[in-house]
Amino acid sequence: MNAQHGDVGILGLGTATPRGRLSQEDAAHFAVKRCARNEQESRWLLRRYGQSGVSRRHVAVLDADSSSQENAQEAFIRFYPEPGSSEANSGPSTEARMRLYERSAPALAAEACREAIETAGVEADSITHLITVSCTGAVSPGLGERLIPQLGLSATVGRASLGFMGCHGGFNAVQVARKLIEADARACCLICCAELCSLHFQYGWDPQAIVANALFGDGASSMVIGTAQPVGSMRIVHGASRLIAGSGDAMTWRIGDHGFRMTLSPEVPKLIETHLRVWVEKELSSRGLSIDDVEQWLSHPGGPAILEAVERSLKLKPEVHAISRQVLDDHGNMSSATLGFLLERGGVGKKLTVALGFGPGLVAELLVLHGG
């Protein structure tokens, strides 16, 4: 039995964040002591943190029981001590960072999944496929195998893991789930994106790494996707991807000896501004739609410059990204998990919504959603 086109929808959403929370002011203070070598670099770093669009973020590195600012500072310093006299001091090893990922990510993922299952109104053992997404940690048995007993999923649930994709991983997971359900309307998919970006704070003077340090936070989001109900679900109308030719070095994510390292070229906003509009118009036109028909835009807040590039390319007013900017302000960029936060805060109702995401490749992703 095949699902008819347009019958697939998001039935439930869930989000979770670590209890530890860090203000951007404190984050900048910590970064100065670990990255800047002189007063000029300190001033540049403080400006970048101040212009990031982030006011606060949840951070797994912080002690979950920290109730005071003093305790939070101590927890951060324990994991990320100030560098000594040796220039080779680059912070914790990748192994140490992955140990913390293994301790923290599964519980955070399970919290988001439980909420999604509850809001969808489905039984855990009715889920046929589990799709996990993460680019900030790797361990085996992975998130999927750990979530099965925690959530009471069937021991025979199908599993897929999308790893190391970056900020657009959640979009790809939705597309995988959609295809599974279009092939079999009885399928019910649980997606979980769990990202602990704070584990990859980079020491030293590297402007691109400092911009990433200023933007990223931790969180998990989950979706239950199945055959859409007449009311109460977000119908997935269309999904598409576009690789921008010649942009492979514009955004990268590589494993290093001291965490994973991101490069984020200043050319990224220009590439988005140049290439986005024609592609979006083509994809919307394939569904008989235009940019003017879209009632809500939920663009992944990779940073203020990314949102501004989308606005310039599509000729949108800044206020259309109010929700994207709110999520960035409250949580920072949580990589693949951010999509769930955008959808939860934006809702869909009866609105025609377009979600946009961008990640290494450089790849743009698009989802068209409509209320049930």
Sequence length of the chain is 372
Tokens found for residue 32: 């100065």
Q: How far apart are CA 289 and CA 198, in angstroms?
A: 39
d(C-alpha 288, C-alpha 333), whole Å: 32
User: For the chain, first and last CA: distance in Å?
Assistant: 22
Q: Which residue's structure tokens are 């404190």? A: 26
> What's the half-sphere exposure (Cβ side, CA atoms, 13 Å) at 302?
25
Say which residues have a Cβ less than 8 Å from residue 51's Cβ, sequence separation at least 6. 304
Task: Report DSSP letters for 114-168, one per residue.
Answer: HHHHHHHT--GGG--EEEEEESS---SS-HHHHHHHHHT--TT-EEEEEES--TT
Residue ranges per structural domain of the chain: 234-371
Hey, what amino acid is at 96?
A
Could you say which residues of the chain have pLDDT below 70? 1-6, 63-73, 85-88, 230-232, 348, 372
Tell me the pTM.
0.94
Contact 367, 239 (CB under 8 A): yes
pLDDT at residue 63, rounded to an integer: 65
φ and ψ at 57, to 5 degrees?
-160, 155
Q: Which of 3.30.9.10, 3.40.47.10, 1.10.645.10, 3.20.20.70 would CATH assign to domain 234-371? A: 3.40.47.10
Q: What tens digit of pLDDT does each residue of 226-268 get?
A: 997 755 678 999 999 999 999 999 999 999 999 999 998 999 9
**167 annotated active-site:** yes
Among candidate residues 35, 113, 135, 167, the one labeled active-site is 167
CA neighbor of 63 nearest in space, from 78, 42, 85: 78
Backbone angles phi, psi at 224, to 5 degrees: -105, 125
**Would you tell me how many other CB atoms lie within 10 Å of the CB of residue 36?**
18
